[in-house]
Amino acid sequence: MKIAVIGAGNIGHTLGQKWSKAGCTIYYGVRDPEHGKFAHLQESGQVCTILDALTPARVVLLAIPGDAVTGFVEEYSESMNGKLIIDATNNIHGGPMNNLEMLFEKTANTQLVRAFSTLGWENFENPVVNGQQVDLFYCGHSGARPITEKLITDVGLRPVYLGPLEKVDLVDGLTKVWFALVFEQGHTRRLMLKMVEEVAS
Ligand SMILES: NC(=O)c1ccc[n+]([C@@H]2O[C@H](COP(=O)([O-])OP(=O)(O)OC[C@H]3O[C@@H](n4cnc5c(N)ncnc54)[C@H](OP(=O)(O)O)[C@@H]3O)[C@@H](O)[C@H]2O)c1
């Protein structure tokens, strides 16, 4: 599977590395692919312009600052049409945390998913905390579930589906819980939210 990872920072690079190891072809789309900070990705030929990343991709991961997404979509919406788009961005300066409504309005025939937004990137890099697998709560287009759940599983996380896009406030609420615990209550960033369920045998 070909994946355009837009933004090669904490989230983009962490998830891109995991998916690459799982056999996906990763194109890191960045503004300046020649920049020295991408030397490690230049060697493997994985870093390119944003357009070159989007064009061949089946899946697009948005991993740029939340307030940069509007400008990004204005420039690249045509190249995003028809793809499965995962919005991992968080608007931390107010307004909706996610960019799904704008993505829905500005792109065509896309499958939209809200995932990889609720926990710190360290938990994606090492998805086991105190011996327990980290759960990833997500929502989005039901037709996107098989690919999304494979990508979540490839990272080493357990997918927990909360429903279609209308459930995005639930997903973003979990992000706010994580933020409150880590940034206000002094817990560490190696903190996950876990669903525990008794299943009748
Ligand atoms: N950090 C976390 O633990 C975490 C967890 C969940 C969700 N998120 C969300 O994920 C997103 C990325 O976070 P991060 O921690 O990975 O950030 P980061 O390490 O700062 O990386 C951000 C990346 O976005 C690129 N970028 C910035 N502005 C851009 C623009 N206008 N157009 C295209 N690319 C642009 C940067 O490229 P340059 O290097 O060229 O500036 C950089 O590669 C944010 O929305 C954040 O809220 C973060």
- Domain coordinates of the chain in residue numbers? 2-184
Quote the ligand 1 centre to 104 CA distance (angstroms). 21
Low-confidence ranges of the chain (pLDDT < 70): none
pLDDT at residue 94, as a whole number: 85
Q: Which atom, in ligand 1's list, is nearest to the CA of 189? A: 3
Quote the ligand 1 centre to 197 CA distance (angstroms). 34
pLDDT at residue 151, as a whole number: 98
- 99 touches ligand 1 (CB under 6 Å): no
Please state which CATH number belongs to domain 2-184: 3.40.50.720
pLDDT at residue 201, as a whole number: 82
pLDDT at residue 95, as a whole number: 87
- 182 touches ligand 1 (CB under 6 Å): no
Three-class HEC string of the chain: CEEEEECCCHHHHHHHHHHHHCCCEEEEEECCCCCHHHHHHHHCCCEEEHHHHHCCCCEEEECCCHHHHHHHHHHHHHHHCCCEEEECCCCCCCCCCCCHHHHHHHCCCCEEEECCCCCCCHHHHCCEECCEECEEEEEECHHHHHHHHHHHHHHCCEEEECCCHHHHHHHHHHHHHHHHHHHHCCCCCCCCCCCCCCCCC
pLDDT at residue 53, as a whole number: 98
